[in-house]
Amino acid sequence: MSNALFTVPKAINEPVKAYAPGSPEHTALISEYKKMLNQDPVDVPMYIGSELVRTNKKKTMSPPHDHQKVLGYSNSGDASHVSKAIDEAMKAREQWANLPWEQRAAIFLKAADLLAGPFRSKLNAATMLAQSKNVMQAEIDSACELIDFFRFNVQYMTQIYKDQPESLPGMWNRLEYRPLEGFIFAVTPFNFTSIAANLCAAPAMMGNVVVWKPAESQIYSARVIMELFRAAGVPDGVINMVTVSGAVAGEVIFKSKHLAGLHFTGSTGVFRNLWKEIGNNIEHYRTYPRIVGETGGKDFVMVHKSANAAEVATALSRGAFEFQGQKCSAASRSYIPSNLWNEVKEILVNQVKSFKMGSPEDTTNFINAVIDEKAFDKIAEYIDYAKGQSDAEIIIGGSYDKSKGYFIEPTVIVTTNPKFRTLSEEIFGPVLTIYVYPEDQYEEALKLVDETSEYALTGSIMANDRYAIQIATKALENAAGNFYINDKPTGAVVGQQPFGGARGSGTNDKAGAAMNLLRWVSARTIKETFVPPTDYKYPFLG
Ligand code: NAD
């Protein structure tokens, strides 16, 4: 019987391990990577209720940097699997929703500790293999960010529960934070293992049940997430993973009267279509589904003439090219004043020239492969487009090769056209476009930054002049949900820089923050009167 007001351990950010060659973490991770690479192919099931479901429609999973190597197979499901997952979720709902909150908290705190310990190398290695991340990119994503999501969200959950209304004499007002009446559909992107897990875990922590559809190219590491959830004690049916196409899932999910929420991260176009589907079916639902979506970006680095050239070049080389530019927050356009351009260009070109590209197994590689052939072809098409335009020039990179893996050289385009296509469209690859503006037209350039793309996810201002920083902070108020001063626009940390964007970039519900968790509960106000009146007459009646 729960009869105490518990406090949870204070969340602190998981320290990022350094992975210097020869360090214990380096040895453990690379040996796990090799083991997973060379073991017999795995057959990843769907997780529906207590069942591990396999079909005879298998899809091959391969590392993006070595596409002929078979890591294993996923099992393609159909509409019946999606229906079964909804049924199992709804069956699990009552017991899970009624479990005291501290038991739910304990499960996710345990998941954090398992991931910090015995699961760390396994989830990092799976992420390196499935998504072609180098050790550092895997560590900050699948280990540290996910551990932080678990621990900080437990803390935010208790903050929400503690938030209670005032009570005047003679009454007691209370707020209950009920889970939503139905199930949550989690639809997740390929690029962050932590996001995939968190889109399921955040609503589940608040007492909801989930049907999860991971991105096809992330299924290999999604399997390890499900193993982690099970090891931590998430009961059967609370998080169900189905490996079906988006269209198949949507057909069943959006027609279910039990749909209570969509937790989405991915591209803007897909999110808009899902929102429309929900709108088209709105009269079928028992409750208005909560719609949370974090989507695309065209993230900027705006530079003032007072900035330091080496700092600008480094913000660009890290911000644009880490994880091959496949972060929603990656710097993909930059506006550089004419007085600094020659110096920035020289440092940037030298830094990019020194990048090594190849498999993540060789940890001297800074750059690995892009996710799949479709992404490779799309990025290559943008590079070819730039090659064919008279108002653009490629100053470094521009080559690509998919013979062994999907490798694209980090590419910098310089354009004289402030509305050039690659300054406004999301490419989602290692391509940075630079526009050099006359150094005395700072405010005009800020206007360009604000108006050139439909997105508003991340961006930074680099300047030493404090007035210039203030002018940019105001002028770009709505151009980014995460705004950086003298930093690259990537690398948000849970608990420190709550993450999300507005305009075409999403609903800005800030992953890993109380704001997000609030979307997964429906408050019930309870007013209790201690001594109810016994006569209807108010004093004014005389
Ligand atoms: P995507 O939109 O192609 O896919 C996202 C998910 O949607 C996948 O699971 C996919 O299978 C699913 N999907 C596609 N069509 C569907 C349909 N008709 N019905 C239901 N589900 C469907 O995105 P991606 O390539 O996996 O990820 C890259 C995108 O995600 C980029 O645009 C990036 O900016 C964005 N992203 C944003 C954030 C953020 O926090 N804002 C974070 C990570 C990624």
Q: What does the pLDDT look like over 471-511, one tens digit per residue?
A: 999 999 999 999 999 999 999 999 999 999 999 999 999 99
* Nearest residue by C-alpha to atom 28 in ligand 1: 266
3-state secondary structure of 83: helix
Interior/surface letters 367-388, b for 16+ CB within 10 angstroms, e for the rest: bbbbbbeebbeebbebbeebee
- 512 close to ligand 1 (CB < 6 Angstrom): no
Report, as an integer, the average pLDDT of 60-74.
Answer: 98
Position 105 confidence tier, pLDDT thresholds 50, 70, 90:
very high
- Counting ligand 1 atoms within 8 A of each CB, the residue from 76, 149, 187 with the most, and so the one to mutate, is 187
Residue nearest to atom 40 of ligand 1 (CA): 294
Mean pLDDT of 381-400: 98
pLDDT of residue 1: 62
Mean pLDDT of 152-163: 98
What number is the average pLDDT over the span 35-44?
A: 98
The residue whose CA has the least distance to atom 11 of ligand 1 is: 215
Q: What is the pLDDT of residue 336?
A: 98
Catalytic residue (choose from 14, 32, 145, 294): 294
Task: Please report which confidence band the pLDDT of residue 293 belongs to, taking 50, 70 and 90 as the band edges.
Answer: very high
User: Is the model's pLDDT at 399 over the cut of 70?
Assistant: yes
The pair of structure tokens assigned to 290 is 């909560």
Q: What is the pLDDT of residue 194?
A: 98
* From 14, 145, 322, 328, the catalytic residue: 328
Query: Per-residue pLDDT tens for 412-456?
Result: 999 999 999 999 999 999 999 999 999 999 999 999 999 999 999
Above 80 in pLDDT, residue 357? yes
Give catalytic status of residue 200 as yes or no. Answer: no
**249 C-beta closer than 6 A to ligand 1:** yes
pLDDT band at 301 (very low <50, low <70, confident <90, very high): very high
Question: How many angstroms separate the Cα of 469 from the Cα of each of 59, 94, 316, 483?
Answer: 51, 52, 18, 11
The Å distance, Cα 224 to ligand 1 centre, comes to 20
Active site residue 328: yes
Indicate which atom in ligand 1 lies nearest the CA of residue 426: 32
Q: Is the pLDDT of residue 262 over 70?
A: yes
Kindly state the percentage of the chain with pLDDT values over 70: 100
Residue 510 Cα to ligand 1 midpoint, Å, equals: 17
Ligand 1 centroid to residue 271 C-alpha, Å: 8
Q: Does ligand 1 have an atom closer than 6 angstroms to the CB of 252? A: no
Q: Is 457 in the pocket of ligand 1 (CB under 6 A)?
A: yes
Burial annotation 20-50 (CB, 10 A radius, 16+ → b, else e): eeeeebbebbbebbeebbeeeebebbbbbbe
pLDDT band at 3 (very low <50, low <70, confident <90, very high): confident
Bridge partners of 484?
Answer: 460
Q: State which ligand 1 atom lies nearest to the alpha carbon of 457.
A: 41
